[in-house]
Amino acid sequence: MPIILAIESSCDETSVAVCDNGKITANVIANQTIHENYGGVIPELASRVHQQNIVPAVQQALTIAKVDKKQLDGVAFTQGPGLLGSLLVGVSFAKSFALALDLPLISVNHMQAHILAHFIDEPKPKFPFLCLTVSGGHTQIVLVKDYFDMEIVGETLDDAAGEAFDKTAKILSLPYPGGPLIDKHAKEGNPLAYRFPEPQIKELNYSFSGFKTAILYFIRDHQKENPDFIAEHINDICASVQHNIVNILLNKLKKAAKQYHCKEIAIAGGVSANSGLRSALLALKDSLGWNVYIPKFEYCTDNAAMIAIAGYHKFLQGEFVGQEVAPMARMNF
């Protein structure tokens, strides 16, 4: 009956969760609004704010879960991948907390945790399944054979899908993170108003760096004729951009499903909150006979509940790390 405290601090969310025997009983997320006007996360600012948020977030999570720290059985934390300074705050806190309370430490890979968020609630995917993991830093198609037996079968060669959303938003003068705002405008626009090229990338890989440049030139050319182009057509621009990114993502996912003869299909990560991606995937569920798994909104973007569920399964397997553990900006499965 383990009770696990979990810490997530890989980017700009300080999050703390409690998992009581496989059930999430608290998931506190302290968002950082300080980055809004910079068009992206400023690493130095992110680590400072984590430092301020982490102790109150832990106290709040324990209060919500109605758990005393003496009742805990383990401390799980994000070891990587992520921003080094941000990770350092969470890893150092987890190590000190575990040392003080003589608790085992559980290291969690952030990208695996996004996928394992599917094991928080029902329905849970059946192994093996394919997961399209789309976030601000990663875009991967992962063949998930077991909780911690995962193989990346395709990934982006440059920018992530979340970056394509965020950089487009910056060009449109929308604040960071731009993904949710593009999604909001897209709901009012025509997805077929403008066309953008689909990059021809080999196998199951992606590329989004050319996309940003295409948008930049597209806006520049239209603004030459109409300086108010963005303001007048923001909904159609957002709907078309979103439609294009979703198509690119799903075309490779369809290819992967065929190649691996797999009909158990999941999405995970911040971009899995996108309404266009969610509805396009549901449409494929019917046309291709897939079993589709879409996370609850609160488990799409960064959260410690996913770290807690991953930590719980590692606890059951007796997989712990020592005090010498250090954060890793890059971390493989």
74 makes contact, choosing from Zn ion, ligand KG4, none, with CB < 5 to 8 Å by partner type, with: none
Min CB(246)–ligand KG4 separation in Å: 9
Contact partner, 166, from ligand KG4, Zn ion, none, Cβ < 5-8 Å per class: ligand KG4
CB of 218 to Zn ion, least distance (A): 29
Q: Which does 165 bind (CB under 5 to 8 A by kind): ligand KG4, Zn ion, none?
A: ligand KG4
> What, of Zn ion, ligand KG4, none, does residue 177 touch, CB below 5 to 8 Å by kind?
ligand KG4
Q: State in angstroms the smallest separation of the CB of 119 from ligand KG4.
A: 17
- Tell me whether residue 25 or residue 301 sits nearer to ligand KG4 (CB atom): 301
Give the pair of three-digit tokens for residue 18. Answer: 């409690």
β partners of residue 155 = 140
> DSSP secondary-structure letter at 199?
P
Nearest CB to ligand KG4, comparing residues 104 and 178: 178
State whether the Cα torsion 301-11-13-120 is positive or negative.
positive
Query: Out of ligand KG4, Zn ion, none, which partner does residue 274 contact, by CB within 5 to 8 A per kind?
Result: ligand KG4
Which residue, 2 or 40, has its beta carbon nearer to ligand KG4?
A: 40
Q: Residue 267 gets which letter from DSSP?
A: E
CB atoms within 10 A of CB 130: 24
C-beta closer to Zn ion: residue 25 or 139: 139
Site string for Zn ion, 286-315 (x = CB under 5 A): ----------------x-------------
For residue 11, the minimal CB distance to ligand KG4 (Å) is 5
Q: Are 83 and 46 in contact (CB under 8 A)?
A: yes
Query: How far apart (Å, rounded) are the C-alpha atoms in residues 91 and 107?
Result: 9
Backbone angles phi, psi at 156, to 5 degrees: -75, 145
- Residues in a beta bridge with 24: 19
Nearer to ligand KG4, 130 or 238 (CB): 238
In the complex, what is the shortest distance from the CB of residue 68 to ligand KG4, in angstroms, rounded to a whole number?
30
Pairing of strands 139-146, 149-155: antiparallel
> Measured from the CB atom, is 84 or 214 closer to Zn ion?
84
Give the three-class secondary structure for 203: coil
CA 220 to chain centre: 31
The residues of the shown chain that bind ligand KG4, judged by CB under 6 A, are 11, 135-137, 162, 165-166, 177-180, 183, 269-271, 273-274, 301-302
First to last CA, the chain: 27
Q: What is the DSSP letter of 19?
A: E
Q: How far is the CB of 227 from ligand KG4 (least distance, A)?
A: 27
180 binds, among Zn ion, ligand KG4, none (CB under 5 to 8 A by kind): ligand KG4
Residues in the chain: 333
| Least Å from the CB of residue 331 to Zn ion | 12
Tokens of 6: 């979990």
Q: How far is CA 56 from the centre of its chain?
A: 24
Enter the DSSP assignment of 192.
T
Sign of the torsion formed by the C-alpha atoms of 238, 241, 246 and 249: negative
| 78 is a contact residue toward Zn ion (CB under 5 A) | no
Task: Rule CB under 5 A: choose which of 135, 156, 168, 274 binds Zn ion.
Answer: 135
Please give the residue ranges that form the binding site for Zn ion (CB under 5 A): 135, 302
